């Protein structure tokens, strides 16, 4: 299935990819036409007993495809997922070591299919929706909401657009005085007064162009979920934390106003007011409570 509106995709690239797979696979092509369509198509692929579903698009298309493939829960006999990245960031594909462009990814996928090579990958579950690499509540989700508004107005999604959205949201959009979030973990004391929470299923969390952004450097597909929380939105500590996220690192960022959780099976984030929520870089509205769970070895990926 393909998202014809993905940032970096083109009709020519789509035709090249179809021709590349045609000799090895009995292909059925489907274009997504609206939000949620990839989930419907992937669920149909499960119902019809297909062996592999190929997602040609960005992280949003991949997320929807994953949720369709797992509509009935993880199943080792269900269709495997192949990813051909055509989005603006392609975090999930890059975290798996898949080339960050569709032609190289096609070669890798073809080699893997011919060799019968798959990898079982752990995912996260936010209430009843799976995510592949990250989720967030608070400032980061507000920025993604702003970027989606700009894109609907015809702006191109690139690092510069995200940078402008971050600055505008931080200084004139988000509430920097009243922390709304509380972190709850089974058997442990609650952590209150958080402005922002990021939940990572792998590392890095996202990219600015080629530069990885890494608030949860120990997150991995083979472990539980990692969490990074922020208690202060004062300018100086935020700038320092943001700079440290951009540095190569293997250890979490520590500080008096920061919260780190590693390899969690389950966490719940509650908000005292409706607050922005994002999953794999897609804005999903406002929430007052989300429970995040680890889903080990949830899906097979062609790689």
Distance CA 35, CA 49 (A): 24
Q: Tell whether 257 and 151 lie within a shared domain.
A: yes
Instruction: Name all contacts of 237-241 with Cβ < 8 Å and 24+ positions apart.
Output: 238/170
How confident is the model over 69-90, as a mean pLDDT?
A: 93
Residues 197 and 62 in one domain: no
Over residues 243-302, the pLDDT tens digits come to 999 999 899 999 999 999 999 999 999 999 999 999 999 999 999 999 999 999 999 999
Q: 4 pLDDT band (50/70/90 cuts)? A: low
- Final residue in a domain of this structure, among 60, 83, 116: 116
Residue 208 lies in a domain: yes
* β-sheet bridge partners, residue 84: 56
At 33-52, the pLDDT tens digits run: 889 999 999 999 999 999 99
DSSP structural state of residue 31: B
231-260 per-position pLDDT tens digit: 999 999 999 999 999 999 899 999 999 999
In the prediction, which pLDDT does 30 show? 86
**Total number of domains in the chain:** 2
Q: Which of 116, 147, 168 is the last residue of a domain?
A: 116
- Burial class from Cβ neighbours inside 10 Å (0-12, 13-18, 19+) for residue 99 reads middle
Residue 3 lies in a domain: no
Judged by phi (left if over 0) then psi (alpha if -120 to 50, else beta), residue 263 lies in left
Q: Which domain holds residue 86?
A: 11-116
Average pLDDT taken over every residue of the chain = 92
Phi and psi at residue 64, to the nearest 5°: -65, -40
**Cα-based torsion angle of the residue sequence 195, 93, 96, 286 in order, rounded to the nearest 10 degrees:** 20
Regarding whether 274 and 138 lie in a shared domain, the answer is yes
Which string of DSSP letters, residue by residue, matches 2-30?
Answer: B-TT-TT--HHHHHHHHHHHHTTS-----
Together in a domain, 98 and 142:
no
Same domain, 179 and 229: yes
Query: Is residue 67 a part of any domain in this protein?
Result: yes
Could you tell me the CATH number of the domain that includes residue 38? 3.40.50.10330
In a domain, 188, yes or no: yes
177 in the same domain as 35: no
Q: Which helix (H) or strand (E) holds 64?
A: helix 59-69
The answer to whether the bond into 204 is cis (omega within 30° of 0) is yes
* Domain's final residue, options 54, 85, 116: 116
Q: How far apart are CA 58 and CA 89, in angstroms?
A: 7
Do both 169 and 267 map to the same domain?
yes
Please check whether residues 241 and 167 belong to one and the same domain.
yes
Q: What CATH number has the domain bearing residue 277?
A: 2.60.200.40
142-175 pLDDT per residue, tens: 999 999 999 888 888 788 888 899 999 999 999 9
139 plus 286 within the same structural domain: yes
Same domain, 163 and 238: yes
User: Is the distance from CB of 13 to CB of 103 less than 8 angstroms?
Assistant: yes
Distance, CA of 108 to CA of 223 (rounded, Å): 25
DSSP string for residues in 159-223: HHHHHHHHHHHHHHTS-SSS--EEEE-TTS--EEEESEEEEESSS-SEEETTEEE-S-TT--TTS
């Amino acid at each position: 299935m393909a998202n014809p509106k993905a940032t970096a995709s083109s009709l020519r690239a789509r035709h090249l990819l179809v021709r590349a797979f045609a000799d090895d696979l009995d292909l059925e092509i489907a274009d997504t036409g609206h939000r949620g369509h990839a989930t419907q198509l992937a669920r149909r692929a499960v119902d019809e007993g297909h062996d592999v579903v190929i997602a040609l698009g960005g992280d949003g298309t991949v997320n929807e495809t994953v949720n369709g493939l797992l509509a009935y829960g993880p199943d080792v006999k269900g269709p495997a997922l192949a990813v051909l990245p055509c989005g603006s960031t392609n975090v999930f594909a890059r975290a798996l070591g898949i080339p960050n462009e569709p032609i190289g990814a096609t070669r890798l996928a073809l080699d893997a299919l011919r060799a019968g090579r798959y990898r079982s990958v752990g995912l996260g579950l936010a209430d009843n929706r799976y995510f592949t690499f990250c989720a967030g509540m608070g400032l980061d989700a507000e920025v993604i909401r702003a970027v989606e508004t700009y894109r609907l107005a015809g702006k191109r999604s690139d690092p510069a657009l995200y940078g402008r959205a971050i600055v505008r949201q931080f200084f004139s959009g988000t509430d920097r005085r009243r922390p709304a979030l509380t972190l709850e973990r089974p058997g442990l004391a609650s952590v209150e007064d958080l402005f922002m929470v990021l939940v990572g299923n792998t590392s890095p969390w996202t990219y600015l162009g080629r530069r990885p952004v890494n608030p949860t450097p120990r997150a991995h597909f083979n472990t539980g979920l990692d969490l990074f929380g922020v208690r202060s939105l004062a300018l100086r500590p935020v700038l320092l934390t943001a700079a440290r996220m951009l540095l190569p690192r293997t250890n979490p960022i520590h500080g008096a106003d920061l919260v780190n959780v590693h390899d969690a099976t389950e966490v719940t984030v509650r908000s005292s007011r409706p607050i922005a929520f994002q999953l794999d870089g897609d804005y999903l509205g406002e929430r007052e409570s989300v429970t995040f769970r680890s889903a080990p070895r949830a899906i097979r990926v062609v790689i």
